Amino acid sequence: MAHDCGHHDAHGLSTTKLSLSILLTFSFVLIECLVGWKVGSLALISDGIHNFTDGVALILSWYGIRAALKPANPRNTFGQQRVSILIALFNSITLLLSSGYIVYEAITRLRNPEPIQSLPMILVASVAVVVNLLVAFWLHRGSLHDINIRSAYVHMIGDALFSVGVVVAGVIIYKTGWLPADPLIAILIGIYIIHSSWGILREATHILLEGAPKGLDVPQMIAAVRAVSGVGDIHDLHVWTISDGMHALSCHLRVEEGYGAEAKQVVCEVKALLALDFEVTHSTIETECDECPNTSLYCSLERRHTHSH
């Protein structure tokens, strides 16, 4: 088996599309909030608030993409890849807080229903559905590979659903006059958005805590490395995600007796295996010919952690 050692190219998204999304979102926010206030629809105002947080999320995502393109330097040796993870964390938290506030306000409105002009509510919410779905369509491809874009995408999908809910509430009120439909829809959509954003919050936190890459079977990866010709053992293993889709690994690799002269080739075979079979594309491997004093597979880091060989 012979492979080339290489590095990973990050997935990207057109900043032009993001810029257009930002402009479109903020332009509609003002209209939606004004109409919602005028007709007395909490669901419509809530949708406008979500659209505003969407605009902020899109701005932050745009900055995250720009920051990720900055090269590594002596101060930031990985570049600024983690900025996008911080933005995803922030976006998910704002989603949780805003949705929680909307649910609270909706429960209050259930106790004291207020009159609503349903026709303007239906019209504006219908336009909101189109706007949100258009922006979500632009973001979809990038959301498959980037947690930062995915957090903005969830914002837009959540708002599209919220807008559909507002339309449904407006139709119910128009046909039956049943005012609780407005806050009930707000509660249902708010709960759904809380559920969706919780997954992004957990994923972003896991990355920031240097957890193993999502979906990586670490024991299977270790077994595959040990099966490479010339590998005696592997220990002091650390594997983590730098940014979404960019995984890194460091370890100590003991080369079997008789393979000392071929240690470089053994390392290259292991690197190729990690990249091709496990999508770990940035690996740092230290080779050993003698037994290391510390042979723990997962070596606990200490403030003065050292190895001598």
Provide the pLDDT for residue 280.
93
Question: What number is the average pLDDT over the span 102-121?
Answer: 80
The helices-and-strands tally (H runs, E runs) of the chain is 8, 3
| CATH code reported for the domain at 218-288 | 3.30.70.1350
Q: How confident is the model at residue 289 (pLDDT cuts 50, 70, 90)?
A: low
Provide the pLDDT for residue 222.
94
**218-288 shares the fold of 15-208:** no
Q: How confident is the model at residue 277 (pLDDT cuts 50, 70, 90)?
A: very high
Provide the percentage of residues in the chain whose pLDDT is more than 70: 86
Per CATH, the homologous superfamily of domain 15-208 is Cation efflux protein transmembrane domain (1.20.1510.10)
Residue 241 CA to residue 228 CA, distance in Å, equals 24
pLDDT greater than 80 at residue 241: yes
Provide the pLDDT for residue 2.
42
Q: Where are the domains of the chain?
A: 15-208, 218-288
How far apart, in Å, are the Cα atoms of 249 and each of 24, 46, 180, 253? 41, 44, 54, 12
Provide the pLDDT for residue 11.
43
Provide the pLDDT for residue 296.
66
Question: What number is the average pLDDT over the span 104-120?
Answer: 80
Pair 242, 197: CB distance under 8 Å = no
Which position has the higher pLDDT, 28 or 208? 208
Expressed in angstroms, the distance from the first to the final Cα of the chain is 30
